[in-house]
């Protein structure tokens, strides 16, 4: 009679109850809240991600009295890469305003945007702040954004806008 092979029971070893540090790669027990080698907290990455991104809401208050005609819909045309590429999304009509939301926009990003107003008679009006466009830096109050743009940054954005002749991509 020969030796019988042992059956594999699938018992998990202690290695399955450890975490790997995202900073230094050290493996440590899962009940530790910080890496013993470098001191990084296990939830450090998750905390940074939630702080670094925001959901942006652009609210526009516009009425039919401004155009003497009913508004069919509003399009928000925007760029998040300083005017190199453009996107468009339809703004949702609320009681007395229109709103658009952009999710997970990183802090510090400069959003450049303008509006296209489509009336029921088919006429399109563009509201682009007299060719200067609207700017918003994510994470900074909107009143301070225009003052915060440096002269070189504003010039670079203007050059990108002038050099971009592509049609905006539609976002649902």
The pLDDT tens digits of the residues spanning 17-46 come to 788 888 888 888 888 888 888 888 877 766
**98: closest CA among 136, 61, 68, 64?**
61
pLDDT at 100: 93
Q: Are 42 and 23 in contact (CB under 8 A)?
A: no
pLDDT at 99: 93
pTM, whole model, 2 decimals?
A: 0.62
pLDDT at 6: 59
Give the best-scoring range by mean pLDDT among 108-112, 152-156, 162-166. 108-112
Q: Which CATH architecture has domain 54-170?
A: Sandwich (2.60)
pLDDT at 131: 75
- Break the chain into its structural domains and give their ranges: 14-49, 54-170
């Amino acid at each position: 009679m020969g030796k019988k092979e042992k059956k594999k029971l699938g018992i998990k070893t202690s290695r399955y109850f450890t975490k790997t540090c995202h900073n230094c790669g050290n493996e440590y027990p899962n009940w530790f809240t910080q890496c013993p080698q470098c001191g990084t907290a296990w939830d450090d990455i998750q905390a940074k991600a939630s702080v670094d991104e925001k959901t942006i809401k652009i609210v526009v208050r516009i009425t039919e009295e401004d155009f003497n005609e009913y508004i069919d819909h509003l399009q928000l045309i925007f760029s998040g890469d300083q005017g190199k590429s453009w996107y468009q999304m339809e703004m949702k009509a609320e009681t007395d305003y229109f709103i658009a939301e952009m999710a997970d926009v990183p802090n510090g990003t400069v959003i450049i945007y303008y509006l296209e107003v489509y009336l029921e008679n088919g006429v399109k009006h563009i509201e682009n702040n007299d060719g200067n466009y609207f700017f918003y830096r994510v994470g900074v109050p909107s009143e301070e954004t225009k003052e915060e743009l440096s002269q070189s940054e504003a010039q670079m954005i203007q050059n990108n806008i002038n050099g971009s002749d592509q049609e905006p991509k539609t976002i649902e």
